[in-house]
Amino acid sequence: MRILHAASEIFPLVKTGGLADVVGSLPPALARRGLDVRVLLPGFPAMLDGIADLRPLMRIGPVFGAASVTLCAGRLPDSRLPAYVIDAPFLFRRKGNPYIGPDGHDWSDNHRRFGLLGWMAAHLASGELDPEWIPDVVHAHDWHTGLTPVYITQNPGLRVPTVFTIHNLAFRGIFPMDCNYDLGLSMRRLNPHGVEFHGNISFMKAGLVYASKITTVSPNYAREICTPEFGYGLDGVMRDRAGDLSGILNGVDYAVWNPGDANILEPYSADDLAGKKACKRALQMEFGLSTEARGPLFAVVSRLTSQKGMDLLLAALPELLQQEAQLVVLGTGDGDLEAGFRYAASVNPGNVAVCIGYDESMSHRFMAGADILLVPSRFEPCGLTQLYALHYGTLPLVRHVGGLADTVVDINDETLAQDRATGFVFGEASRHALGARIREACEFYRNNGSAWEKIQRKAMRQDFSWDDSAANYEQLYRGL
C-alpha cells in the first residue's frame, strides 16, 4: 500500500513545533510496518540542503506565481525514506521561519506557497508527476496542506482517498476570498458548505470538508473540537463529520528522545537514576541556579503563548518561589510573555532562569535535568513534551485537557495505591488552580523521596512509541 504524506515541516530539517516531530517519525514507523511511504515537502532552504541524493524529477510550468517549479526526489537523512521536494525558488527559498517574514507577519503570499503544496500532492495522486509511484492514499497534515483534498475532489476522474490530520485547530489558514484568483478553486467550492469561512477561504476547513477521513492527535481532543469551547468556529463542521473523525495519539521516537541520548551529560535509566542527579546539577550550574534549593526544579520547553498557559505560569510564579522551588524556561513566542519571563529571571537570580530562543540540544538537557516539566495549556491537541518528560523520569505537571489528559495519570491516593500515577494534573485554567497544584507537587517532592523515585520509574516505563498508533493509521488506510 502506497501512502503519500504531505506536510510543511519535518524533523530534523525544518521544525517549529510538534508537527515536525510527528512528520519525521510517523512515516518511518509506517514503513517499518511494511507500507510503501513517501513524503512531500516544500523546498525551503533547509529541505533542499538536508535531503540526500536530491535530483530533479519533473519541470512544471509557471504556477502559483512562481516562474520555475521543479519537483525533485531524494531521501530523508536518517530513515532514508523517499522524499519529494517542491523547488520553487520564488516561493520557498527564504531563510528563517517557514511561515513568517522578518517583519514578524505571515508572508503575504502564504496562500500561494501552501496552495502549491496541496496542488502538487493532488497531481502526485493523479500520477502525472511521477508515473512510477502513484499513492493509494494521500495523508495531509494541518492547514498548510488543507487544499489537497479539494484539488483531488475537483478532478472527477480522480478517486484517491485522503486522510487529513488536525494538529492544531487554532491555526485555520484563513485568506481573503480574492486569493482564489491564484488558487483556482471551483466556484462550487466557495460557499459555506465548502471552503468559505465567514467570507474568507480557510485551508483548514477545506481539509475538513473534503478529506475522506479526518484524524486528530489524541482521542480527547477529537471529542473537544466538536464543542464550541475548542472548535474555533469549526465545531459545526466537526460535528457534521463526526462519523469520519477519530483521534489517534501521537507517538514518540525513543531513538531521538531517551535519557542516554547524545545531548545528555550522564546517561541514566529506570534501573539506575544516578545520572539524573548529575544532569540536574549540570543544568542548575549552566543557568546559574543554586544547587542547594529545597524545592524541585521546574522546567518549561515551549512556545511562549497563551495556548500553552504561559501567562498563568507567570501569575503563579510567586507560589512556586514560596515553596523554595526553581524554574528554568526555554522558549520563544509572544513578546509580552518573553519579557515577563526575562523580568522574573532578573529579579529572582539563582532561582529563575530563562533562555529565550530555540535550541534542540538544550531541550534534551532540560528534559533530563528537571524534576518537573510544566505544561499548563489552555488547549493541547496532543502535546509531545510531556511524553518526552515521562521518558526522562521528569514528572509532568499538566492541565487536564486534550492529549495531556490522555497521557498523564494524576498523582492521588487512588492512583498511588494502584501504582498508576505518573504526574500532577490540575483542572481549571486559572493561576490559583495552577499555583495550588505547584504547591502540592513541591510538598510531595519534599516529603516522599522514595515514592517519587517509584513514580519516576513508572513514568519512564510508559510506552508511547509509535507501534500502536501506526497500526491505527494503517487500519484507517486499509478501510479506505
Helix (H, G, I), strand (E, B), or coil: what is residue 58? strand
Query: Chain centroid to CA 417: how far?
Result: 33
359 binds ligand ADP per the rule CB under 6 A: yes
State yes or no: residue 17 binds ligand GLC (CB under 6 A). yes
Whether residue 122 contacts residue 158, with contact meaning beta carbons closer than 8 Å, is answered with yes
Site for ligand ADP in 318-337 (CB under 6 A): 330-332
4 touching ligand GLC, by CB under 6 A: no
383 binds ligand GLC (CB under 6 A): yes
Paired strand residues for 213: 163
Dist CA 380 CA 402 (whole Å): 5
**Interface with ligand ADP in residues 360-399 (CB under 6 A):** 360, 363, 382-385
Q: Which does 217 bind (CB under 5 to 8 A by kind): ligand GLC, ligand ADP, none?
A: ligand GLC
Q: Closer to ligand GLC at the Cβ: 345 or 382?
A: 382
Question: Which residue of 7, 8, 15, 18 would you call a contact of ligand GLC, by CB under 6 A?
Answer: 18
- Residues 425-464 within binding reach of ligand ADP (CB under 6 A): none
Work out how close the CB of 319 gets to ligand GLC at its nearest, in angstroms, rounded to a whole number. 26
Residues 6+ apart with CB under 8 A from 417: none
Minimum gap (Å) between residue 476 Cβ and ligand GLC: 16
Strands 174-176 and 162-166: what pairing? unpaired
Minimum Å gap between C-beta 117 and ligand ADP is: 19
Paired residues of 349 in beta bridges: none
Residues 6+ apart with CB under 8 A from 130: 57, 58, 71, 73, 84, 124
Does 86 interact with ligand GLC (rule: CB under 6 A)?
A: no
Least Å from the CB of residue 305 to ligand ADP: 8
DSSP secondary structure string, 267-313?
Answer: ---SS--HHHHHHHHHHHHHTT--S--SS-EEEEEEEESTTTTHHHH
145 binds ligand GLC (CB under 6 A): no
Q: How far is the CB of 355 from ligand ADP (least distance, A)?
A: 8
Query: Which range, of 90-98, 300-308, 418-426, 439-447, touches ligand ADP by CB under 6 A?
Result: 300-308
Q: Does 258 bind ligand ADP (CB under 6 A)?
A: no
Chosen from ligand ADP, ligand GLC, none, partner binding at 359 (C-beta under 5 to 8 Å by type): ligand ADP
User: What are residue 245's phi and psi, to 5 degrees?
Assistant: -105, 135
Task: Quickly tell me which residue has 526544579 as its cell.
Answer: 297
Residue nearest to ligand GLC (CB): 18
C-alpha cell at 271: 534501573
* Close Cβ partners of 242 (under 8 Å, ≥ 6 residues apart): 226
If residue 71 lies in a helix (H) or strand (E), which one and from where to where? strand 69-75
Which residues of this chain interact with ligand ADP, rule CB under 6 A?
17-19, 21, 301-303, 330-332, 358-360, 363, 382-385
Residues engaged in binding ligand GLC (CB under 6 A): 17-19, 22, 167-168, 217, 250, 380-384
